[in-house]
Amino acid sequence: MSLDPAVRELLDRSPDAPARPLTAVELRAAFAASRPRPGATAPVASVTDHHLPGGLRVRLYLPETSGPVPVFLWIHGGGWTIGSIEENEVASRAVCASAEVAVAAVEYRLAPEDPYPAAPSDCYAVLEWLAAGGAGPSVAPSRIAIGGESAGGNLSTVVSLMARDRGGPPIAAQVLICPVFGHPDDGFASYADFATGYGMTADAMRFFFAQYVPGSWDDPYVLPSRSDDLSGLPPALVLTAEYDVLRDEGEAFARRLSEAGVAVDLHRYAGQIHGFYGLYTDLPASPRSHAEVAGFLRRIFA
């Protein structure tokens, strides 16, 4: 399918790439200044920031419903280097309201100031906090799903691997949206086909890897695709975008999960680019993807 006309319009009005490479600090500032501002948001019962030991912040969204509800641990994207919980306000509220689940969005430490393993360590700490009842009586500590977009999708599976390997808290499901499961040098065709001109670039991914893991990326807790054993992981919903450098690695990983006996729903969003779910929420495909995630969570927790 050709690019969605709304996506083409978005790309046409996007700023040109900078004349020189930016540092991580400059890139964060540029991203914060240029990211789309949230439009209308779904009503929820409450939004509260919790501060865990070590300065870790978790934003908890609660739905308008009584009784302890399941919780969706959400991990934002940004190449482990940029981004924050602020950018996913629309998606987090939409899923909270529609699925009637709590959403716990984690503000993990960013590279290069805090490279691997800081991010997965933070996200795993939030999983343990939720499982211990840290979110309060409105949240069921034994009913946890996890998900994220881009680097957040990567971290969602990393945390799932950690929980499996450590005998940690059970995870009911994982939601993986345009996830990072390969390296730019792995030879996936989508890296060549969409290297420039579609928002996320191949060079940007190389930059992010250099910030996050200065050494080898062959550790399965860096790239789960390096794991020899994917059995025993939670059921997964995997959403990819047709015009995304990360498309092929996400779909290849979904097939590997299925081959390992993990239940997988895989859906490629035709005509879309990286960020269609949580960043570019004015795109027509964005609310459809929120509804798909909410429906998946409702089925998981039924």
20 burial level (CB within 10 Å; 0-12, 13-18, 19+): exposed
Residue 220 and residue 162 in contact, taking contact as beta carbons nearer than 8 Å: no
Q: Residues 244, 248, 286, 290: which is the catalytic one? A: 244
Q: Report the distance separating Cα 169 and Cα 108, nearest Å.
A: 19
**Residue 150 catalytic?**
yes
Q: Residues 274, 286, 289, 290: which is the catalytic one? A: 274
191: nearest Cα among 150, 245, 243, 151: 245
Q: Report the distance separating Cα 74 and Cα 126, nearest Å.
A: 10
DSSP 29-48: HHHHHHSPPP------SEEE
CA distances from 161 to 24, 105, 154, 227 (A): 28, 19, 11, 9
Q: Residues 92, 150, 156, 227: which is the catalytic one? A: 150
* Radius of gyration of the chain, Cα coordinates, nearest whole angstrom: 18
CA 255 to chain CA centroid, nearest Å:
19
Q: Report the distance separating Cα 234 and Cα 171, nearest Å.
A: 6
Beta bridge partners of 51: 57
133: nearest Cα among 119, 144, 145: 144
Q: Residue 285 is inside which H or E element, if any?
A: helix 285-301
Preceding omega of 117 cis (within 30 degrees of 0): yes
Phi, psi angles (nearest 5°) of residue 171? -115, 125
**Residue 244 catalytic?**
yes
Question: Could you give the residue numbers annotated as active site?
Answer: 150, 244, 274
